[in-house]
Amino acid sequence: MKSYKINTIFLCKVLLASVVLFTACNSKKNNTNQDEQPKIEELYFGLKPPGLTPEVFAPTIVSTDNLEVLGAFSPEMDEFYFTRQLEGESPKNIGVRYRNGEWEKIYEESRTGEIFISPDNSTMFLGNTYKERTTSGWSEAKSLGLPYDEISIMRLTSSTLGTYVFDEFDTIGTLRMSRLKDGIREEPEELDGVFKEGTFIAHPFIAPDESYIIWDYETENGYGSSDLYISFRQEDGSWGKAINMGAEINSEMEDSYGSVTADGKFFVFHRVNLGETYDESYANIFWVDAQAIFSLKNKN
């Protein structure tokens, strides 16, 4: 089985590009019958929500026979971004929206970073750069400045309070946190303890309220190449143990890049299995009812 490190390098060089993101349809009650509820598919981008078993996300629209990874919802659940790699082409970041019963592509560019949309929906983070939302889409990429310019960040996520949590491609195995205090950003500090277990530690996601962190890493006790883990913040402010998300979510493939939608209802991640050739490789985005991971809190 190929190592997670090799997979990461492959994704950075080759993966992804072209269709993802959707806007929730407005649900309206029947004016003549207040008991009539909208169909569940109307509430979630024209898709039937998954249960406690992960399902491929938006088959034929987002998840196809090509290689798709790095899925990211916007906080308002009206857009979805991801990376797609077509055979023989460079990877691209794509954004899609579901509106009035139709899917539309709203964003496409060569992959320059792993997308995360800030909790206030105003900023697109792309590793150590970012874009600002404008009336016509997104601004040109801007630098986060020092010391971030000197760090090869793959994924940077942010809480509602502006706390950054991010990884580093050059030294996979290091997660860092930087808090925003009184409007001043503190120097990044390395996360120790439970966040140093295993190898190829990467792709952190911090909850908007900072109540948990999700990330992935490889260990001999895991299910496959890399597994997804979660740590819940304890009452004393410390971080609980790293909890493996279990066999329903983790597989013999590379399971990574987890996040929870802003409404707290769905967990999104991707699975990758790289072969010797493009045709032998697999990469798709999955989603599952978030209760599948929140129920793990009792294991602390």
- Give the residue extent of every domain in the chain: 4-25+38-299
Kindly report the CATH number that applies to the domain delimited by 4-25+38-299: 2.120.10
| pTM of this structure | 0.85
What local confidence, expressed as pLDDT, does residue 171 receive?
78
Per-residue pLDDT of the chain (300 residues; tens, 9 = 90+): 333 333 443 444 334 333 333 333 343 334 444 445 545 555 677 888 999 999 999 998 899 999 999 999 999 888 999 999 999 999 999 999 988 888 899 999 999 999 999 999 999 999 999 999 999 999 999 999 999 999 999 999 999 999 999 999 887 889 999 999 999 999 999 999 999 999 999 999 999 999 999 999 999 989 989 999 999 999 999 999 999 999 999 999 999 999 999 999 999 999 999 999 999 999 999 999 999 999 999 876
CB atoms closer than 10 angstroms to residue 43: 17
The pLDDT value recorded for residue 260 is 97
| Residue 105 backbone dihedrals phi, psi, to 5 degrees | -85, 130
CA distance 181 to 162: 9
Angular region, 291: left φ>0, alpha ψ -120 to 50, beta rest: alpha
The three-state (H, E, C) secondary structure of 80-135, written as one string: EEEEEECCCCCCEEEEEEEECCEEEEEEEEECCCCEEECCCCCEEEECCEEEEEEC
Give the C-alpha separation, 196 to 202, whole Å: 10
What string of H, E and C letters represents the secondary structure of 142-164? EECCCCHHHCCCCCEEECCCCCE
Q: pLDDT tens across 283-299, in order?
A: 999 999 999 999 999 87
DSSP-assigned beta bridge partners for residue 33: 30
H/E stretch holding 231 reads: strand 227-232
